[in-house]
Chains A and B, each alone.
Chain A
Amino acid sequence: MRPEWRLASSSRSGRPWRTALLLGTVVIATTLSVMVASGAKSAQGAVSSRLSDSIGKATARVIHPGGGRIERSVLNTVRSWPGVGIAVGRMDGSLTLERADGAKDPETKSKRRVVVTAEGIEIPNEYDVRTLRVSEGTLPSGPSEVLLDKLAAQKLDASVGTELMVRRFGKPIPLTVTGIWDRPIVGPLQNPTAFVEIGVLGEAINRRDGLGTIAIVHDEGVDVAAFVEARSSEVPEFLSLEAADLVKSGFDRRVRGGDLATLIVSVMTFLGAGFIIVTGLTTGVSERQRELAVLRSVGASRGQVFRSQIFIGLWLGIIGGLGGIPLGLALTRVVAEIYAEKLPDGMLIDWPGIVRSLIGAMTAGVFGAVYPAWLASRTSPLDGISNLARSNSRRDIKGVAIVGFLLLAVAWGTAFVERGETRYWYYIYVGLPSLLLAAFALSVPLLTAFAAFFGRPVARILGLPSDVIRGTILTTPFRHGMTAGALMLGLAILTASWAVGVAIRHDWIDRIRFADGFAIDPAGFNQEDLDAVRDLQFITDTCELNRLPVEITDQQVFGIEGIYSKNAMGIGFDPEVFFALNAIDWVEGSLKEALPALKNGTGVLVADRFQTAKGYNVGDSITLKVGRAEQGFTIVGIVSSAGLDLATQLFGVRDLYSEYAVSTVFIDRQVVADVFGNKEVHLLQANLAENVTDVEAEQLIAEAAPGVVFRSGRWILDTIDDISRTSMGIMTSVAFGALILATLATGSVVAANLRGRAFEYGVMRSMGASRSAIARIILGEAIILSITAVVMGVTLGMHFANFDRMHYAGLVGIELHPRPVLGPTVLGAATTFGMCVLASLIPLRRLLDQPPAVLVAAGRNE
């Protein structure tokens, strides 16, 4: 065994509690990292599973990228192509299903009825293309049968054999439930789903002539890519023939985005753990001055002392990492069991994530050991032996302050990097690490300043000699400073997440003026439904809109290339009607000036987020592409988006896997029909009379137009509130987790301080100082530490929030004005203080239990 390993080993085993504390830190960090990685993998697995369910064996598909219909004749053409083994048509639509026996919901007393997203399939050909797993019953074998998912079955209280009816104009269509689709319930926005024979769906929604998708399974040995390239020009211009791999590209982007988020969380976690190790090992080095000096005096080289500390860090990293991995997997397993419904494939282990976690743990250990190792290697043989041992000089503190400000400058260099994607990556790889390191470095001089400033008043308030607290802290400013640093992280996360969360609400969502409500038919309204809704008495105004995902070919306007698609939400609209109904703000341009260009198909309007993100102005050109159809437009106006992007996403009116649109381009409906081949109406904006409630409106519209979903603007806001509350709840939990983690560091430092000053406390006790005086000194230290941690935490949190502000503006096009939110900040500050005091209690209790003689003897190393 190398001497350094042996020294490291004896040092560890000689201080089992300290070692256990530090090990616990690494274990917790690794556990979190593994949980995040494997949790994300499991969630991705669930989505992937859904995607596979959806794609099945299909090797290619024909779609209408603009959301329009595919003529049935195209299916026959596809089937005639050599190399095509199977081709099946599919159709989407909304159906209103209700129990044929008139069963009522005991709570609402209304009929059990649900609007489902229905998928029309060719029976039984569809089953050769994909496997639909059933948890009970069988797959439909004919036109009078239906397969429900669990959510639909639950809402209808239906099981195998239950008789249902499709409500529609004309005679209801009877259906029998033959099975329950084993589909996971994956989120609040998930729609209940049903499978019926394609002809039944066409009849129910009065769309007998069109298809939504054609799925293709090629014969074995066919080169799909070559096939797609060769045949693409044979489908009508507005349609797109694409290989199945392309279908997964949206999912792959989400995976890349998820991986990046996982990486950031892991880096943050391990940085925190690394700094706690810095604190713990620095404390150990301070305590072991005499021991290290002895080692040096009997011939240990500086290198050996340095490496022995590094090996301690490495050992903590390896053992903590290896301990955290099974714990993380076990906890992920527990979570997967709890959410088994949402994770059909159960827990998936992310092996690269585990390797990354182990490497992260080892890096945190080694990184955390570098500074204490350097300190230890500086130990001279006389330190701790001679009475002339050194202490931290002001020069050291000034040095750390300079390093801290330099790192801060590097972090703020982010603001000078070109806005958007480059800035984002600079921040991730340079700015964020520099900011965290700067915060930890600056915590030392800041603590020194606070101890000098607040030490005396705090001592006076606590009835102590004026210099006692200040002196205690200034004896070991690095150790205390690093502890304040560890404490600040949780508060920083809390401050940032609330500041940004509330800013999103105030500066963006609250400013969107939603229409009173939206009637939606994802498959496109049929004329009867449109008329029925418009004819309802309480509907005062309506505006027909269609939506189509459009690719902006000029540049990546929003998000990160490779993670977000280049798509935006295209809204086909009738300008006069739309602007009469919506209170839209014109940021640039006017309706009068814009109208001719909109009508003649040369102009489009864009949402203000285009201007914020990439500086688009009136007069700039933009090229839009749907399928193979591509056309350049001039921007003739910049407007607020009326929340249409939010509305369409919240209603699930988008292809979840392949598209992700973040803002809106407004195009005249006729132009959409002519250029991009989409004549459908997907959304009907509606204003309601004042005497009707949202619930009443929803019920009445469902009665009048079965298959149409109605949601109010208020519902959208409530849903956003729910989502934002959940995400802030998660961030708040993470913040409090970080605070608890930091308690380990605080406990360690307080314990070391008490031990190091045992002699002094023993002398004070023997001279008549009460136990409470000692306790007040510790309390005073905790107050100064907390003040530093709170100031640093809030400041760092606001730095995070400001960087978020930059990224929101550059990548999403939303101008936010984050500011600290009082309640959570005060709660976080109080928790920080509480944790600090709590961490002091155990070592304090141990100290107070010792008689003065024992303390004096211990302090003399007797």
Chain B
Amino acid sequence: MNESPLLEVEQVTKTYHLPGQDVPALRGVDLCIESPGFYAIMGPSGSGKSTLMHLCAAMDAPDTGSIRVAGTELSSLDEAGRTNFRRRGMGIVFQQFNLVPTLTALDNVALPALLDGESEASRNERAMNLLIEMGLEDRATHRPDALSGGERQRVAIARSRIFDPPVLFADEPTGNLDSISGARLLQQLRGLVDEGQTSVVMVTHEPEAAVHCDHIFVLRDGQFSEDFPVEGIDAAGVATRVQLALG
């Protein structure tokens, strides 16, 4: 595992320019996550959670400030470097799953390796191992429309891990799942972290999801207002702490 801090965000701002108005999403955010683990970013709608996640995943660029992910300074990367970072430097999981509908589960998992030019045999072997790990070996040849929501999200997690990245960014990963599927998915993420395979930074607004994490950061109006460890706190406790942090 990389010895640099897992995630460093310094004075990051981001404003969306919409017709007739500017919408500031992040107003000078600072965040430092030193060690590997399972982290949650919570906050109300419009607080900038997803924006921060997209910036950390190099899917968008901040207006000002810097972001380092496992030692990689994102602002120093050119287009090719950012593409390569998205491919190998981190993994990302979306609320909407975002699998490619025309590819099978196996091909979806192997997709980043395919883009990287890896041979078919090698990438398929690694992808299949990840599917087995996620309990989806019998679903490998199915396309997304033949999978349940939980299965799709597990395929998405497997895809995000194909290059064994130091961190997975998860944007409301249980938002489209029923409670049982959601709980199972969170346990799997927890297991990955506990086994030291990766770290997870998850955006969520669900206290029930956040209790699986080690530490919670609360984002309010584009800035972090509080952070606290989760140990010994249940979902109700998380909800109360977040509520207090949001005033």
Contact = CB atoms under 8 A, between A and B. Distances in A.
Interface of A: 1-3, 6-7, 10-11, 13-15, 290-291, 293-302, 304, 380-382, 385-386, 388, 861
Contacts of B50: 386
Interface string B141-162: 0000000000000000001100
21 contacts: A2-B117, A3-B114, A6-B114, A10-B100, A290-B98, A291-B100, A291-B102, A294-B98, A295-B115, A296-B59, A296-B83, A297-B92, A298-B87, A299-B87, A299-B88, A299-B112, A299-B115, A381-B57, A381-B59, A385-B94, A385-B96
Contacts of A13: 102
A386 B111 contact: no
Nearest to A304: B115
Given A381-B59, A382-B59, A382-B60, A297 B120 contact: no
Given A297-B86, A382-B59, 16 more contacts: A1-B120, A3-B114, A6-B114, A294-B99, A296-B59, A297-B57, A298-B86, A298-B160, A299-B116, A300-B83, A300-B87, A300-B115, A381-B58, A385-B59, A385-B96, A386-B50
A299 B94 contact: no
Contact of A298 (B16, B54, B112): B112
Contacts of B16: 388
B107 A10 contact: yes
B84 interface: yes
A680 to B, nearest CB: 77
Closest 3 CB pairs of A and B: A299-B87, A14-B102, A381-B59
B117 A14 contact: no
B86 A380 contact: no
Contacts of A291: 100-102
B77 to A, nearest CB: 13
B100 A297 contact: no
Interface in B36-65: 50, 54, 57-60
Given A294-B100, A299-B87, A3 B115 contact: yes
Given A380-B60, A381-B60, A299 B100 contact: no
B115 A298 contact: yes
A380 B59 CA distance: 7
B98 A299 contact: no
Contacts of B120: 1
Given A304-B115, A385-B96, A297 B101 contact: no
Contacts, number: 84
Nearest to B16: A388
Contacts of B101: 14, 291
Contacts of B92: 297-298
B244 interface: no
Nearest to B50: A386
B193 interface: no
Nearest to B17: A388
B176 to A, nearest CB: 9
A393 to B, nearest CB: 11
A298 B159 contact: yes
A7 B80 CA distance: 19
A300 B58 CA distance: 13
B192 to A, nearest CB: 18
B86 A299 contact: yes
Contacts of B103: 10
B173 to A, nearest CB: 14
Interface of B: 16, 18, 50, 54, 57-60, 79-80, 83-84, 86-88, 92, 94, 96, 98-103, 107, 111-112, 114-117, 120, 159-160
Contact of A11 (B88, B102, B114): B102
A302 B87 CA distance: 13
A382 B114 contact: no
A386 B98 CA distance: 12
Contacts of B112: 298-299
A298 B86 CA distance: 5
A523 B143 CA distance: 80
Given A300-B115, A301-B80, A861 B60 contact: no
Nearest to A14: B102
Contacts of B98: 290, 293-294, 297, 385
A301 B83 contact: yes
Nearest to B102: A14
A44 to B, nearest CB: 47
Contacts of A299: 83-84, 86-88, 112, 115-116
Contact of A295 (B96, B100, B117, B160): B100
B72 to A, nearest CB: 14
A601 B224 CA distance: 107
B117 A3 contact: yes
Q: Which of A298, A301, A385, A388 is most buried by chain B, counting CB atoms within 10 A of its CB?
A: A298
A739 B86 CA distance: 46
Contacts of A6: 107, 114
B140 to A, nearest CB: 15
Contacts of B54: 381-382, 386
Nearest to B162: A298
Q: Which of A10, A290, A861 is most buried by chain B, counting CB atoms within 10 A of its CB?
A: A10
Nearest to B96: A861
Contacts of A861: 96
B96 A381 contact: no
A1 B54 CA distance: 31
Given A1-B120, A11-B102, A299-B115, A381 B86 contact: yes
A338 to B, nearest CB: 44
A13 B102 CA distance: 7
A703 B174 CA distance: 103
A300 to B, nearest CB: 5
Nearest to A12: B102
B64 to A, nearest CB: 19
Contacts of A10: 100, 102-103, 107
Contacts of A1: 120
Contacts of B80: 301
Contacts of A388: 16, 18
Contacts of A294: 94, 98-100
A300 B87 CA distance: 7
A227 to B, nearest CB: 68
Contacts of A380: 59-60
A388 B23 CA distance: 11
A300 B98 CA distance: 14
A3 B116 CA distance: 8
B34 to A, nearest CB: 26
A113 B111 CA distance: 82
A297 B120 CA distance: 21
A300 B83 CA distance: 6
Contacts of B94: 294, 385
A381 B74 CA distance: 15
